[in-house]
Amino acid sequence: MTSPLNSSWIPHALDLVESVAGSTALDVLETATDDRLVCLGMSAPLAVLSYLTPHPVATFALASFALWYGTRVYDYSSAKRQLIEKKLEQIAAASSGPAKALIIQSAQDEMGALSMRTHVEKVRELAKTHKIERVVVHNGREFLAALKPGQFDIVWLRAHGHPDRIEIGSGFELAKHTERSLLQSLANKVKHGGKLILECCSAGGGEKSIADHIGTFCWERTVYAPITKISGILGFEFDRWGYPQFNDGFLRKGKNVTRVIDGPEPRRFLSLYAPRA
């Protein structure tokens, strides 16, 4: 397998696929990380395009072989991630707005579900109203570094999840046994009245989920989490009012998949002395 540096043609190929075959074909490429899955997923678009040529059978055979060989020889997955990361960095650097957003993304993503072009479009839309800071973390030390002083209207955590834990990096996860001070630091990154978005599969599933546990630290803040597994392509979006909602990629979306957890209200202490009549 050659270095991703030698696969600079792949980002250009992705752009070409999008312009010729449309975003659906591009989504097939971005969902797959295995060369055989790429070829299988692209067989239908290639067949349609080949049919429009003078020699459809020969064109389809040559195009299929070229696609298989290209993804086999070059590191397609790494090149795809490089393209996505570059675009996200550019969007974050150019973002501006009265509101602020922090995106924390786990580097632990073998299948590439966190590296989709649809996510780029969501971040580009958010950048119209928010100044964006974005970090990719590999371990607990980097996660702590991402929680430096400062507060945000939106803190958006992207990682693989389960009802009882969120996998942040190598040997590091957010769970009920996680130190309270760390979870409090995460909650404190969100301004009062702000949103903590957990784009992590099933993080809000069950009666005592990890999202519920994190929500106990989010005073006067709101936590959003999916109650089931979500689609890598369609899994998350903001509705017309700017509220987060999730999608399982099949039949369930919005309120049917999204858990909304309102954090506790501040404690109000009653006076020990009753006023005189």
Q: Is the pLDDT of residue 250 over 60?
A: yes
Residue 67, classed as helix, strand or coil, is: helix
Distances (CA, A) of 55 to 20, 59, 77: 19, 6, 32
Classify domain 95-262 by CATH architecture.
Answer: 3-Layer(aba) Sandwich (3.40)
The tens digit of pLDDT for each residue in 25-64 reads 445 445 444 555 566 666 777 788 888 888 888 888 887 7
The tens digit of pLDDT for each residue in 100-122 reads 999 999 988 876 778 787 888 89
Instruction: Return contacts of 120-124, CB within 8 angstroms, 24+ apart.
Output: 120/84, 120/87, 120/88, 120/91, 122/236, 122/237, 122/238, 123/88, 123/91, 123/92, 124/91
Looking at residue 190, its pLDDT comes to 97
Question: Which sequence spans correspond to the domains of the chain?
Answer: 4-78, 95-262
